[in-house]
Amino acid sequence: MTAGLPKPPVQAWILEVRRFVVGGLVFVLFLAGASLLGIRSATAWALRQNELRLEAEARAVAEASVRPGDPSVAIGADPRVIALLRSHQVVQAAVFDSAGMLLSQAGFLPEATLVPVRLSEAEIPTGRDPVLTRTTTGTGPAIAATLKVDNGTRILRVLYDASSVAAAERMVTVFTVAIPAGALFLALLVAPLLKRLLGPLEALAETARGAEGLVGEESSPEGPRAALATFRRTVDELRRRTGELEEMRRSAEARADALAVTSQTLVRSHPGGLLVVEASGRLAEANSAARELLGLPDFPLGQAAAEALAEWPPVADAVDRALTGEPTLGREAMRGDSTSGRQVAVTAVPVVDAAGTLLGALVFLEDRTGVKKLERELSFRRELASLGEMSAGIAHEFRNATAAILGYARLAGTADDPESRQRHLARIRAEAEHVARVTGDFLLFARPERLQVAPVDLAGLVDEVVAEGHATRPTAQFSVEGDLPVRVADAALLRRALVNLVRNAAEAAGEDGRILVRGESTPDAGFVLTVEDSGPGIAPEAVPKLFVPFSSTKADGTGLGLSLVAKIAALHGASVTAGRSDALGGASFRIAFPPGAPSGR
């Protein structure tokens, strides 16, 4: 500071601040007093309006309920009176004579049993205007409105619940005490704090006066402004530095968000199933393909991966190995049986940083269900082709043998002993017919067929087959359900396949069993034909060989029935599967026809 210049006085500034604080306190006290006065005036006005409302309601009840010349009639007998009393929330209503003795009352009101037998002197009106008196009931404060009716010969008393009025009065009392007490407390609080409030300001002024060169040739009022300018520059510098730090923080967050978005995009865009597991074992990410493959549509992220993969033990084991640093490559996992279950190839690899610290694991899932199904179908078709080539010659040999047997049967018919001749002929014919039937089935299975396609009424075809089955098993219960539309197919072959399935179902169900044939259209315009029975079902060990030729679980079976069904289904572009019937508990065979008509190959 330049020598010889007086120091800028700060007392005027401090005094100005003190006046401002005291003036503010006075203004607050004034607002408190004005608020208290307003509250008391508003409450008094509201209470008066409530009294006027009660008087008007009492007059309305009196006009509607009291009948001249009949004081014994209860005021609650008229529906209009009942509606008025209930809409006005009245707790008691009664009629007294001019001396205040009870004549009648509204017995349906809540406190009808507490109506006094005689009115007090304060409640008996002396003029035509209603008299309002404060009283109490069994439930709290109340207001009684009494007025003379019927030319003064009777007095109507209506009692209202005054809980809200009492609450408003209590609130006014509380405000009357609380507002002055709060104002006094504020004054006592500000008085000692005023010195502490002005202390930093005085120190600020002293700092400004002591700053060399801060105040020039200007007058003394500039002293505080110069001090404030110094602090303002400091605050501006801090704000600038804070802005730089905030910009750095936002930049770092943006980079982190970009990395997170990139990671989520990679997980979501992966065509196969992908799981991201943290080092702690919690499931961090799972794309839609993984959720669909593993059956986890609603499983929340952040929970233990072992819990999410409880139904997939091989996948859970691969995750555990990856979290210990051991990768798993292409491991097969399956849920359900080999024909209708879902098969998944699992690859789980650990994720580590540059220092070798384990960060988690990535699990890649590939749906192998369709591939395995195609492999089974291809293998089955190859087996059918080789069996067809091999068995064509065998079938011709059987046919020749059958012709020879029938020839001998005709020669045996010329024997001299009729009884012996007929007995042997019957056995030869039975055997020959059996060989012929087996030969025919085998030839149908072995040789290529061309479908004779035409529109087929499935409902009529099913009814015919069921009728034949019922004729052979009269005690069994046959039923048909579902949608059986007209489909393009080979009627003869489809009928043969259906006869085999219904016959097998009837034999498995027994004499009193149940057989169900059901048709169902699929959303993609396909069709499913199901034959179910109430028999013992299919043994698990028999499932892999159900459709293999000459493989039968029956002692007298040929092993060609289900093979023919599978071939007829394949000729129609359909597939046949076996399982357990949910409705009947036995076996269930489903022929699933794809959309469209067969090609006739």
Task: Give the CATH number, domain containing residue 339.
Answer: 3.30.450.20
More confident residue, 479 or 71: 479
Distances (CA, A) of 478 to 240, 305, 350, 438, 506: 89, 49, 58, 27, 9
Reported confidence tier of residue 445, pLDDT bands at 50, 70, 90:
low
**Residues 515/540, Cβ–Cβ less than 8 Å:** no
Same structural domain, 585 and 471: yes
**Residues 427/434, Cβ–Cβ less than 8 Å:** no
Same structural domain, 438 and 523: no
Residue 142 pLDDT greater than 80, yes or no: yes
Residue 517 pLDDT greater than 90, yes or no: yes
Same structural domain, 510 and 542: yes
More confident residue, 66 or 425: 425
CA 180/CA 174 separation, integer angstroms: 10
In a domain, 22, yes or no: no
Nearest Cα neighbor of 503 from 455, 445, 441 is: 441
Paired tokens of 584: 């009947």
CA 496/CA 254 separation, integer angstroms: 70
Same structural domain, 349 and 298: yes
Q: What is the mean pLDDT of residues 451-480?
A: 88
What pLDDT shows up at residue 209?
Answer: 55
Same structural domain, 392 and 511: no
Task: Give the CATH number, domain containing residue 137.
Answer: 3.30.450
Distances (CA, A) of 561 to 15, 464, 566: 114, 19, 9
In a domain, 194, yes or no: no
In a domain, 253, yes or no: no
For the chain, what is the domain count? Answer: 4
CA 141/CA 386 separation, integer angstroms: 103
The pTM of this model reads: 0.35
Reported confidence tier of residue 554, pLDDT bands at 50, 70, 90:
low
Query: What's the pLDDT tens digit per position in 330-353?
Result: 788 877 666 666 788 888 888 888
DSSP string of 165-184, one letter each residue = HHHHHHHHHHHHHHHHHHHH
Residue 153 pLDDT greater than 70, yes or no: yes
What pLDDT shows up at residue 50?
Answer: 79
Element (H, E) at 130: none
Reported confidence tier of residue 124, pLDDT bands at 50, 70, 90:
confident
**Residues 363/315, Cβ–Cβ less than 8 Å:** yes
Q: Buried b / exposed e across 77-102, counting CB within 10 Å, b at 16+?
A: eeeebbebbeebebbbbbbbeeebee
**Residues 282/288, Cβ–Cβ less than 8 Å:** no
Question: 139, 164, 189: which is the final residue of a domain?
Answer: 164
More confident residue, 211 or 528: 528
Nearest Cα neighbor of 106 from 131, 134, 125, 78 is: 78
* Chain centroid offset of residue 93 CA: 54
Question: 367, 399, 426: which is the final residue of a domain?
Answer: 367
Residue 519 pLDDT greater than 80, yes or no: yes
Across the beta sheet with 527-533, the strand order is 477-482, 514-521, 527-533, 587-593, 575-580
Same structural domain, 416 and 466: no
Q: What is the mean pLDDT of residues 297-306?
A: 74
For residue 364, how many C-alpha atoms fall within 13 Å in the half-sphere facing its CB?
A: 14
What pLDDT shows up at residue 154?
Answer: 82
Same structural domain, 404 and 462: no
* Most confident among 142-146, 207-211, 238-242, 431-435 (mean pLDDT): 142-146
Same structural domain, 511 and 411: no
Residue 212: strand, helix, or coil: coil
Which residue type occupies 137?
T
- Tell me the pLDDT of the chain averaged across its residues: 76
Question: 109, 134, 164: which is the final residue of a domain?
Answer: 164
CA 404/CA 441 separation, integer angstroms: 19
Q: What is the mean pLDDT of residues 87-103?
A: 83
What pLDDT shows up at residue 217?
Answer: 40
In a domain, 199, yes or no: no
What pLDDT shows up at residue 216?
Answer: 42
For the beta carbon of residue 48, count every other beta carbon within 10 angstroms: 10
Q: What is the mean pLDDT of residues 235-250?
A: 82
Q: Percent of the chain beyond pLDDT 70?
A: 70
Q: Buried b / exposed e across 437-463, counting CB within 10 Å, b at 16+?
A: ebbebbbbbbeeeebebeebebeebbe
More confident residue, 580 or 371: 580
What pLDDT shows up at residue 228?
Answer: 61
What pLDDT shows up at residue 33?
Answer: 80
More confident residue, 213 or 42: 42
In a domain, 325, yes or no: yes
**Residues 477/597, Cβ–Cβ less than 8 Å:** no
More confident residue, 223 or 420: 420
Same structural domain, 356 and 388: no
Query: What's the pLDDT tens digit per position in 170-226?
Result: 888 887 887 788 777 777 777 677 666 666 666 665 655 554 444 344 444 444 565
More confident residue, 196 or 582: 582
Helices within 66-162 (DSSP H only): 79-87
Which residue type occupies 145?
A
CA 66/CA 71 separation, integer angstroms: 8
Q: What is the mean pLDDT of residues 480-493?
A: 88
**Residues 508/550, Cβ–Cβ less than 8 Å:** no
pLDDT-wise least confident of 306-320, 390-404, 429-443: 390-404
Residue 530 pLDDT greater than 90, yes or no: yes
Question: Which residue, chain included where needed, has tokens 């072959």?
Answer: 493
pLDDT-wise least confident of 75-79, 342-346, 564-568: 75-79
Residue 565 pLDDT greater than 80, yes or no: yes
Same structural domain, 416 and 499: no
Which residue type occupies 481?
E
Same structural domain, 475 and 527: yes
In a domain, 158, yes or no: yes
Beta pairing, strands 141-149 & 486-490: unpaired
Q: Where are the beta strands (DSSP E) in 260-398?
A: 273-278, 283-286, 328-335, 342-352, 358-367
Paired tokens of 317: 């084991």
Task: Give the CATH number, domain containing residue 532.
Answer: 3.30.565.10
In a domain, 267, yes or no: no
Question: Which residue, chain included where needed, has tokens 């469209």?
Answer: 596
Residue 259 pLDDT greater than 80, yes or no: no
Torsion of CA 515, 520, 526, 527, to 10 degrees: 20
Same structural domain, 392 and 360: no
Give the range of the structural domain holding residue 467, as residue numbers without chain letter: 452-593
Q: What is the mean pLDDT of residues 36-51?
A: 81
CA 484/CA 428 separation, integer angstroms: 43
What pLDDT shows up at residue 572?
Answer: 85
Which residues lie closer than 8 Å to 371 by C-beta, 6 or more apart? none
In a domain, 333, yes or no: yes
